[in-house]
Amino acid sequence: MGSWDPTCQGIVQSNPTMEAVFIADVEGNLYGTSDRAKWAPSQEEAKNIATTLTNERADPALVVQGEKFMFIRRNDNTIIGKKADKAIVGIATSKIVIVARVDEGKVKNSGNALVALGTLHNHYENSGY
């Protein structure tokens, strides 16, 4: 269990639109996940996600767990990617990325997930992350 697992678990419990959340540094080192059985990305996958989040010239798609999500929204350090009835929401600081998988059937609520991640983002950014 990572030291940030309780933070990830708490955000999923308080936002029922999210299925799973992870936090990693921009090099892909996993700090925490809400459910390691459902989603514990490899360092390579987490780094690819971080690179996509922090590089505006990156491909307008994100591969997560072998599935390609096309961006439906991208602003500065945030993305919402969609594939059929699934979504990925991510936000980055200069040091970490926070990424959530949105439950199937709740993709219309991706904005709510982004707001929740934004609150966590602000907390960590103000704490030096």
Residue 120 backbone dihedrals phi, psi, to 5 degrees: -65, -40
Residue 18: how many other CB atoms lie within 10 Å: 25
Average pLDDT, the chain: 85
Q: Which residue has the higher pLDDT, 109 or 63?
A: 63
| Band (60; pLDDT cuts 50, 70, 90) | confident
pLDDT of residue 47: 92
Read off the pLDDT of residues 68-99 as tens digits, 9 standing for 90 and up.
Answer: 999 888 888 888 888 888 889 999 998 999 99
CATH topology of domain 5-126: Beta-Lactamase (3.30.450)
- What is the model's pTM? 0.86
pLDDT greater than 60 at residue 21? yes
Q: Which residues pair with 62 in a beta bridge?
A: 69
